[in-house]
């Protein structure tokens, strides 16, 4: 019998997850069906229940439901518990297991695919929502010189920093507080790209040879990318590698088989 999986989000039309996960299934010989589901912003739990009733075996979760998925899970993995957000669900009998593969996906892309070390680097993380929560712990685990979380609502940035304070040098602030600071890695974890905007960043935040990393893939030449290029970022990444690496980790969680992301990256680039 074909096992059913999906991705929940709102919006969800831009999602590449169905293409990616079905490509992984063909590559590894797994018999699955995978589709995108647009969940109402006030009806995530109901959408999950309906999918489970259809026989769903697992799901990915994207904006804006990662923290709701955390609350919905009846059991959490250590990395999901640390993050306080869930992007991967596993449905076992009456149990809903919540996991988070964002952090491992980000680190594999930056450190392996891009060959950019994190240790000793000054890192700026933009945003304090579910996408950001999933990567703070893993980033601090690589021992950066500092990690600054900036958000429009300052209290959320500071609260997130306090949550992870025991893991390393992390602080929270507003965007205006970034003036005069310089970073080696700037990671955009906000949803602003979906609306064609970007956080109000001051000039001069990119160090020579710095990495500008956009976690939302496939949105074209976004304002953040243009800003980073004009500000002299040494390398700009669209986040395709993270998308693929976190998806591969989810696939491994569900199926116990780890797919090769390289041919799927080539497939997506051809479709772009």
Q: In the numeric block, which tokens belong to residue 90?
A: 């596993």
> In whole angstroms, what is the distance from residue 80 CA to residue 88 CA?
9
Which candidate in 4, 57, 66, 121 is catalytic?
66
57 is annotated as an active-site residue: no
Q: Which residues are identified as catalytic?
A: 66
């Amino acid at each position: 019998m074909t096992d059913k999986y999906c991705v929940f989000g709102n919006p969800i039309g831009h999602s590449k997850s169905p293409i990616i996960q079905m490509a992984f299934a063909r590559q590894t010989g797994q018999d699955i069906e995978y589709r995108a589901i647009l969940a109402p912003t006030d009806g995530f739990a109901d959408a999950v229940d309906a999918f489970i009733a259809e026989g769903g075996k697992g799901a990915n979760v994207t904006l804006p439901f990662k923290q709701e998925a955390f609350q919905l899970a009846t059991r959490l993995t250590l990395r999901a518990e640390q993050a306080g957000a869930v992007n991967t669900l596993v449905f076992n009998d009456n149990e809903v297991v919540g996991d988070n593969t964002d952090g491992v996906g980000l680190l594999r892309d930056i450190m392996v695919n891009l060959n950019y070390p994190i240790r000793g680097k000054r890192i700026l993380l933009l945003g304090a929502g579910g996408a950001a929560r999933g990567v703070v712990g893993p980033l601090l685990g690589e021992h950066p010189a500092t990690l600054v979380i900036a958000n429009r609502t300052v209290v959320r940035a500071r609260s997130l920093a306090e949550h992870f304070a025991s893991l390393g040098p992390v602080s929270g602030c507003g965007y205006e507080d970034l003036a005069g600071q310089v970073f080696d890695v700037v990671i955009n974890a906000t949803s602003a790209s979906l609306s064609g905007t970007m956080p109000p960043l001051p000039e001069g935040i990119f160090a020579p040879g710095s990495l500008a990393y956009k976690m939302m893939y496939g949105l074209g030449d976004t304002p953040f990318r243009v800003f980073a290029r004009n500000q002299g970022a040494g390398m700009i990444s669209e986040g395709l590698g993270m998308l693929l690496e976190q998806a591969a980790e989810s696939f491994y969680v569900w199926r116990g088989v780890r797919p090769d992301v390289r041919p799927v990256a080539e497939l997506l680039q051809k479709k772009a």
